[in-house]
């Protein structure tokens, strides 16, 4: 093994939870020399990230006003805080709690679910693609949670013992919310309500990522997650109840995403930007770290059948808005290849 390979491997096996205990030897790949206070002092948007009341857009009620708000939110921010989504606050707490309990397990127990060097699924830290890559200050558990026959239970924790049932229940709720939001997005653009849903094909998937961010002594030079846009159609993020960290880029400025009790943050990903021919924008976002407090979030990425060709829906292509994206297939693969080269994956599709 060459020296560079062995040092990449050394970073690969170190969990961030362990790095905290030996912080003096923090590998350089975690440090942004240009960091500075900008990481922490993002703007708080005066009008706030848009809040959408799902009660107003789920049939039988369809408020045209709320649909217009949704369209505007996804056109300008690419995200919104969803309220009245039907999940109880105690269920959301339960999802957070079992996730937290997993990261609190002894190291040996967690390592039973470790992903191998070539796996995407499982427990681990940021995936190292190239030696020069910056690393995220986060440990993760990455699982394909839908469809049922693609679940690899060898990566699903057995402790806490209600982990599996809770995640299965949460997945089902997110699957239904994805349908509701896809329909509302289509209606907001005057399209037939199944227009986006039909593009998912028969074998759509949901990937879950538990993100655990330990406290970080160098919060102004280390990022929880580097700037990126999601490769999903829609991402649902259950935020930590108390600790903020997520920031969204809009008009070249970073804005904090505040915590709204019981809200779910919904953002569209690159595949909706393509399907909507750029009417909805997949926002670039990043996560900052916190010197004192740990933070835990649960991201659910909804993605279409990987065999399905994704391209702008015909009704959104016209003289004033010509086609802006080329067809793509298996976006997850494109995503990792481009990401690896430090490019935005959506460039693979932009005309
Ligand atoms: O933890 C967060 O606030 C966001 C995580 C995220 O962007 C992701 O997992 O893609
Ligand atoms: Fe993300």
9: pLDDT strictly greater than 50: no
How far, in Å, is the centroid of ligand 2 from the Cα of 260?
A: 18
Ligand 1 mutation pick, 297, 302, 332, 345, max ligand atoms within 8 A of CB: 297
Question: Residue 78: what are its φ and ψ, rounded to 5°?
Answer: 80, 5
Q: Mean pLDDT across the stretch 31-60?
A: 80
- Count the domains in the chain: 1
Q: What average pLDDT is seen over the chain? A: 90
Q: Which ligand is nearest to the CA of 297?
A: 1
**What element of type H or E holds 178?**
helix 163-188
User: In Å, what is the CA distance from 27 to each residue of 16, 33, 51, 125?
Assistant: 11, 13, 39, 13
Please tell me the distance between residue 137's alpha carbon and the centre of ligand 1 in angstroms: 12
Residue 295 near ligand 1, beta carbon < 6 Å:
no
> pLDDT-based confidence at 7, cuts 50/70/90?
very low
Q: Which of 246, 257, 283, 289 to mutate to test the pocket of ligand 1 (most atoms within 8 A of CB)?
A: 246
Residue nearest atom 9 of ligand 1, based on CA coordinates: 299
244 close to ligand 1 (CB < 6 Angstrom): no
Residue 37: which pLDDT band, with cuts at 50, 70 and 90? low
pLDDT at 4: 43
Instruction: Pick from 237, 242, 268, 270 the residue to mutate for probing ligand 1's pocket: most ligand atoms within 8 Å of its CB.
Output: 237
Question: How far is the centre of ligand 2, averaged over its atoms, from the C-alpha of 228 (Å)?
Answer: 6
Q: From the CB of 256, is ligand 1 less than 6 Å away?
A: no
Is the beta carbon of 209 within 6 A of some atom in ligand 1? yes
Residue 226: which of 198, 247, 206, 202 has the closest Cα? 247
Interatomic CA distance for residues 124 and 152, integer angstroms = 16
Largest CA distance in the chain: 63
- pLDDT for 12 equals 54
Ligand 1 pocket check for 71: Cβ under 6 Å: no
Does 123 score more than 60 pLDDT? yes
**211 ligand 1 Cβ < 6 A:** yes
Q: For residue 73, which of 45, 43, 51 has the smallest C-alpha distance? A: 51
pLDDT at 311 over 50: yes
Residues around ion ligand 2, judged by CB within 5 A, are 230
Centre of ligand 2 from the C-alpha of residue 159, in Å: 26
What is the ipTM metric for this complex?
Answer: 0.99
Q: How far is CA 116 from CA 6, 12, 20, 111, 113, in A?
A: 15, 10, 23, 11, 9
Q: What is the CATH number of the domain that holds 103?
A: 2.60.120.330
CB atoms within 10 A of CB 276: 27
Query: Under a CB-based contact definition with an 8 Å cutoff, are residues 204 and 302 in contact?
Result: yes
Distances, alpha carbon 207 to alpha carbons 52, 145, 204, 242, 299, in Å: 24, 6, 10, 24, 8
Which atom of ligand 1 is the closest one to the Cα of 299?
A: 9
Tokens 């942004």 correspond to: 32
| Model pLDDT, residue 8 | 46
Q: Strands (DSSP E) along the chain, which ranges? A: 51-53, 79-83, 122-125, 139-146, 205-213, 223-228, 234-238, 246-250, 253-256, 264-268, 285-288, 295-303
Residue owning the nearest CA to atom 3 of ligand 1: 246
Asked if residue 237 has its Cβ within 6 Å of ligand 1, the reply is yes
- Does the beta carbon of 245 sit less than 6 angstroms from any atom of ligand 1? yes
Which ligand has its closest atom nearest to the C-alpha of 282?
Answer: 2
% of the chain residues with pLDDT over 90: 73
What is the CA(299)–ligand 1 centre distance, in A?
6
Per the CB < 8 A criterion, the answer to whether 290 and 256 are in contact is no
Q: Which atom of ligand 1 is nearest to the CA of 245?
A: 3
Contact 124, 115 (CB under 8 A): yes
Instruction: Give the count of alpha carbons within 13 A of 309, CB side only.
Output: 6
Q: How far is C-alpha 332 from the chain's CA centre?
A: 13
Instruction: Give me the pLDDT at residue 132, please.
Output: 72
Higher pLDDT, 29 or 114: 114
Domain that holds residue 211: 3-349
Could you tell me if 98 and 170 are in contact, meaning their C-beta atoms sit under 8 angstroms apart?
A: no
Residues 285 and 147: their CA atoms lie apart, in Å, by: 27
Q: What is the pLDDT of residues 259-302, one digit of tens each?
A: 999 999 999 999 999 999 999 999 999 999 999 999 999 999 99
CA distances from 71 to 57, 155, 225, 290 (A): 12, 38, 27, 33
Measured in Å, residue 128 CA sits from the centre of ligand 2 at 17
pLDDT at position 35: 67
């Amino acid at each position: 093994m060459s020296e560079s390979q062995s040092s990449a491997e050394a970073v690969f096996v170190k969990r961030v939870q362990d790095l905290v205990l030996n912080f003096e030897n923090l590998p350089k790949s975690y440090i942004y020399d240009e960091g500075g206070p900008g990481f922490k002092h993002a703007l708080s948007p005066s009008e706030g990230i848009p809040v959408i009341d799902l009660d107003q857009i789920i049939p039988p009620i369809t408020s045209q006003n709320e649909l217009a708000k949704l369209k505007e939110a996804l056109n300008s921010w690419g995200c919104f805080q969803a309220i009245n989504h039907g999940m109880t606050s105690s269920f959301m707490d339960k999802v957070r709690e079992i996730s937290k309990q997993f990261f609190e397990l002894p190291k040996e127990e967690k390592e039973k679910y470790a992903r191998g060097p070539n796996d995407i699924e499982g427990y681990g830290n940021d995936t190292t693609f190239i030696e020069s890559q910056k690393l995220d200050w986060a440990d993760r558990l990455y699982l394909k949670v839908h469809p049922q026959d693609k679940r690899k239970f060898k990566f699903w924790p057995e402790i806490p013992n209600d982990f599996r049932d809770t995640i299965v229940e949460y997945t089902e709720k997110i699957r239904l919310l994805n349908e509701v939001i896809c329909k509302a997005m289509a209606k907001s653009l005057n399209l037939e309500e199944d227009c986006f849903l039909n593009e998912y094909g028969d074998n759509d998937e949901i990937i879950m990522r538990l993100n655990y961010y330990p406290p970080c002594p160098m919060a102004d030079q280390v990022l929880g997650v580097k700037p990126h846009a999601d490769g999903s159609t829609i991402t649902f993020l259950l935020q930590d109840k108390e600790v903020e960290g997520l920031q969204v880029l809009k008009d070249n400025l970073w804005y904090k995403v505040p915590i709204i009790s019981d809200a779910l943050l919904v953002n569209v990903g690159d595949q909706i930007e393509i399907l909507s021919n750029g009417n909805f924008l997949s926002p670039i976002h990043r996560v900052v770290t916190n010197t004192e407090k740990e933070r835990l979030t649960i991201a659910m990425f909804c993605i279409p059948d990987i065999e399905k060709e994704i391209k702008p829906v015909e009704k959104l292509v016209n003289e004033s808005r010509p086609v802006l994206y080329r067809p793509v297939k298996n976006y997850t693969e494109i995503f990792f290849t481009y990401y690896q080269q430090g490019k935005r994956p959506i460039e693979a599709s932009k005309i």
